[in-house]
Amino acid sequence: MDKILELENVTKEYKNFKLDNISFSLEKGYIMGLVGPNGSGKTTTIKLIMNLLSKNSGEIKVFGLDNSLDEKAIKERIGFVYDDNIYPLGLKLSKIALLIAPFYKTWNQELFNQYMKKFQLDPQSSLEKLSKGMKTKFAIVMALSHKPDLIIMDEPTSGLDPIFRRELLEMLQEIIEDGNCSVLFSSHITSDLEKIADYITFMDKGRVVLSDTYVNIVENYRLVKASEEIIKKERNKFLSYRCNSFGGEGLCKNWHSLQNEYPDKIVLEKPTIEDIMYYISKREEVEC
């Protein structure tokens, strides 16, 4: 399969934080969600991919090319939505498009006009007069109007209303339908990822804890509810767990063995992305 994006053993060190030897990859035609608690390293990872930061070690390839040596060729093919506004606030939206378009050989003014209409943005408005959500919408229009092969978005849905969020997710799915475009996006809104992500990469404290297809993740893990006694006895089988006066609950990968051993004494549930994120982030501070 064609790898659109490959990170191998990438490390970036700040004074108080280390993005530690992370690896994951994304194939052509798929959507990957990047999730993790605040400060886990999602934005740092995205900035490294975009070569806005330099790595300490490791390799980042986009479209099979080195992300820093071939930066210009790569960026022409990426639609990037940053978590903050990057365009000059005082300019009209149409003027911004006019300034940015020449940087992309594949810029499609017709498509820009269509998206502006669809997203109900007035080309004659100046950027500073837009609300936070409208600015994000404009950033998305700019990212999509040059028909990118890879869309990278850092928290694109956070300031958007639920209706537009749903429309955006549907649009992303339509865009990747022909199999030529891939999407990497970070989000705290895990229900958005559950709707459209083919792959999920979980980050925690600067590490990639899990990166797999959404289907595999949801099939391979179970939330196990049982008595405190069972949970404590089987503690090694849990990624992490918590107990209270009513019993215990934990996230378990090898849940079949528990099911066989305690068929009538435990309850198994498929976890949500949020459940998995919670238990992954709590795995070093078990409460029992």
Ligand X SMILES: Nc1ncnc2c1ncn2[C@@H]1O[C@H](COP(=O)(O)OP(=O)(O)OP(=O)(O)O)[C@@H](O)[C@H]1O
Q: What is the DSSP letter of 260?
A: H
> Which member of 14, 84, 229, 257 binds ligand X (CB under 6 A)?
14
Site string for ligand X, 44-83 (x = CB under 6 A): x---------------------------------------
Q: What is the end-to-end Cα distance of the chain in Å, rounded?
A: 45
Helix, strand, coil abundance in the chain, percent, nearest 5: 35, 30, 35
| Region of 10-18, 74-82, 172-180, 276-284 interacting with ligand X (CB under 6 A) | 10-18
The nearest distance, CB 38 to ligand X, in angstroms, is 3
**Residue 128: strand, helix, or coil:** helix
d(CA 236, CA 195): 32
Q: Does residue 159 bind ligand X (CB under 6 A)?
A: no
Query: CB-wise, 40 or 145, nearer to ligand X?
Result: 40
The nearest distance, CB 280 to ligand X, in angstroms, is 13
β-partners of residue 24 are: 7
Query: CB-wise, 145 or 186, nearer to ligand X?
Result: 186
Query: CB-wise, 136 or 145, nearer to ligand X?
Result: 136
Query: CB-wise, 55 or 146, nearer to ligand X?
Result: 55
Q: Report CA torsion sign: 27, 28, 30, 35.
A: positive
d(CA 224, CA 73): 48
Burial class (CB in 10 A: 0-12, 13-18, 19+), 248: buried
Query: CB-wise, 40 or 51, nearer to ligand X?
Result: 40
The nearest distance, CB 125 to ligand X, in angstroms, is 28
Query: CB-wise, 54 or 124, nearer to ligand X?
Result: 54
| Region of 14-22, 218-226, 227-235, 248-256 interacting with ligand X (CB under 6 A) | 14-22
- Binding residues among 29-48 for ligand X as defined by CB under 6 A: 36, 38-44
Considering just the CA atoms, what is the radius of gyration of the chain in Å?
Answer: 21
Structure tokens at 20: 């530690």
The nearest distance, CB 52 to ligand X, in angstroms, is 11
Size of residue set near ligand X by CB under 6 A: 11
Cβ partners under 8 Å of residue 14, min gap 6: none
Query: CB-wise, 145 or 201, nearer to ligand X?
Result: 201
Structure tokens at 59: 């390799």
* Positions that interact with ligand X (CB under 6 A): 14-15, 17, 36, 38-44
